[in-house]
Amino acid sequence: MRFLKTITLGAVLALAATGAWADKLPLGSISNYLNGLTTAKGEFTQINGDGTISTGTIYIKRPGRVRFEYNAPDTGLVIAGSNTVVIYDTKSNQPPETYPLSRTPLSIILARNVNLGQAKMVTGHAYDGKATTVTAQDPENPQYGNIQMKFTGPTPELRQWIINDGNGSQTTVILGALTKGGSLPNSLFDTSKGGR
């Protein structure tokens, strides 16, 4: 499932040292931060399951929409919208790969209402002196894998995520500085037309 590999790349977000902050961020604060993140755009670095590295631009429009545009020499494009994830590979003669968004751990942060306090959703919540890491899964479908998100504080800021899919593949995505707010056209997330 190449799509899941692509999405998993999101976990290597750049961790900005915060020095004075010495406590893990509460789950409620992180949920509020994610729910307040309506639109965002920024650069990302992805570490794929095979160890290769890709870079590109990410566009987020919550709920339910994200777009990964890859820089050359990669020619891929991943779009989530209309409850579907579509992976385009312009180097391939094969049709795009399509998956239900609900079957990927990324759906957790793209949900309309993120509630990390939900029973059995969070399986890990730790602080390493620099960042708070939250590991979350769909409590009704843990077989789809999990997402490990890294946040710096004291005001939550998403820096990285690692997706561990149900097939044992791991993808890390490291986020650069995100430009939040503003308008992103819905056409960017149109899975039927490749977001063109």
Distances (CA, A) of 22 to 1, 35, 44, 125, 130: 39, 24, 27, 14, 8
pLDDT score of 9 = 35
% pLDDT > 90, the chain: 69
By the 8 A CB rule, do 157 and 151 touch? yes
Q: What is the mean pLDDT of residues 163-188?
A: 92
What pLDDT shows up at residue 85? Answer: 94
Instruction: State pTM to two decimals.
Output: 0.84
Confidence of residue 114 (pLDDT cuts 50, 70, 90): very high
pLDDT at 183: 93
70: left (phi over 0), alpha (psi -120 to 50) or beta: beta
Q: For residue 154, what pLDDT band results from cuts at 50, 70 and 90?
A: confident
Q: Is residue 52 pLDDT above 50, yes or no?
A: yes
- Rounded to the nearest 5°, which phi and psi values hold at 141? -140, 65
Can you give the length of the chain in residues? 196
Residue type, 110: L
The pLDDT of residue 193: 64
Q: Residue 185: its pLDDT value, please? A: 94
Q: Which carries the bigger pLDDT value, residue 170 or residue 89? A: 170
Architecture of the CATH domain 2-181 = Clam (2.50)
Q: What pLDDT shows up at residue 139?
A: 92
Closest CA to 75 of 49, 48, 56: 56
Longest dimension (CA), the chain: 52
Give the CA distances from residue 117 to residues 58, 64, 121, in Å, rounded to whole numbers and listed in that order: 27, 20, 7
Q: Which residue has the tokens 């968004």?
A: 101
Distance in angstroms (rounded) separating the CA atoms of residues 60 and 109: 10
Q: What residue ranges do the domains of the chain occupy?
A: 2-181
For residue 176, give both structure tokens.
């650069």
pLDDT of residue 18 exceeding 80, the answer is: no
- The C-alpha atoms of residue 169 and residue 178 are separated, in whole angstroms, by 26
pLDDT in tens, 57-72: 999 999 999 999 999 8
Q: Which residue has the tokens 């707010």?
A: 181
**Band (1; pLDDT cuts 50, 70, 90):** very low
